[in-house]
Amino acid sequence: NAGVIQTPRHKVTGKGQEATLWCEPISGHSAVFWYRQTIVQGLEFLTYFRNQAPIDDSGMPKERFSAQMPNQSHSTLKIQSTQPQDSAVYLCASSFGQNTEVFFGKGTRLTVV
Amino acid sequence: GDSVIQMQGQVTLSENDFLFINCTYSTTGYPTLFWYVQYSGEGPQLLLQVTTANNKGSSRGFEATYDKGTTSFHLQKTSVQEIDSAVYYCAMNGSSGNKLIFGIGTLLSVKP
């Protein structure tokens, strides 16, 4: 079990460019989460899928951010027209089901210059 | 809405010192409470889950307690070691179901 796999581990983009972050959840896990981590805000919930369906995207900024889960083996978080304030570590996590342990990946550190 | 407040942002201790971290929570639901630990370069990982008020959970020498009356929960360890240096997060899944709401995190530095 390789755990939750996130690629790339580090990404540098220029202001205004698009960034796509990838996540492969643990096989058999039905829930997938995205979080953003910064020094100031800590761990902020972004969005959540269950069985590939979007369940709760209440933490997603309304513009420029989108997430998809086209199949059970991967999810993507896309940020259009990146801004310096988008710089953060983006964490993906998965769990087997409701109220079961949530496993996190190592994160993707996004730097917008 | 649901919220978790974690008091201590940074704690510096010496080996064998006592550790105590406190969090309070607010929710309209029936929460499950957690402590996560994050080592440098890694994602957060579950340290303890506490589901019953006034009961303790324990793992790796850490203990967690939960007081429903004061809506608070605590993490403690009698004798910390240098390898315990990490960021500790309290978290809750409250009225909104499966998603975790985290406190701001406590950076623990243990000096040898």
CB contact under 8 A, B100 and A101: no
CB contact under 8 A, A93 and B89: no
Q: How many residues does chain A have?
A: 113
Instruction: State yes or no: pLDDT of A83 exceeds 90.
Output: yes
Q: State residue A100's pLDDT score.
A: 84
Instruction: Mark out chain B residues that contact chain A at CB-CB < 8 A.
Output: 32, 41-46, 49, 89, 93, 96-105
Q: State residue B29's pLDDT score.
A: 78
Could you tell me which of A51, A103, A100 has the C-alpha nearest to residue A72? A51
- Give the separation between CA B108 and CA B90, rounded to whole angstroms: 13
Share of chain B above pLDDT 90, in %: 64
Q: Are B4 and B23 in contact (CB under 8 A)?
A: yes
Q: How many residues does chain B have?
A: 112
Rounded average pLDDT over B56-74: 86
User: Which tens digit of pLDDT belongs to each residue from A13-51?
Assistant: 999 999 999 999 999 999 999 999 999 999 999 999 999
Q: State residue B54's pLDDT score.
A: 59
The owner of tokens 């004798």 is: B79
Which among A42, A105, A107 has CB closest to B102?
A: A42
Residue type for position B72? S
Instruction: State yes or no: pLDDT of B55 exceeds 70.
Output: no
Mutate to test the interface with B, among A102, A103, A106, A108 (most CBs of B within 10 A): A102
Instruction: State yes or no: pLDDT of A55 exceeds 80.
Output: yes
User: Which tens digit of pLDDT belongs to each residue from B19-33?
Assistant: 999 999 998 877 888
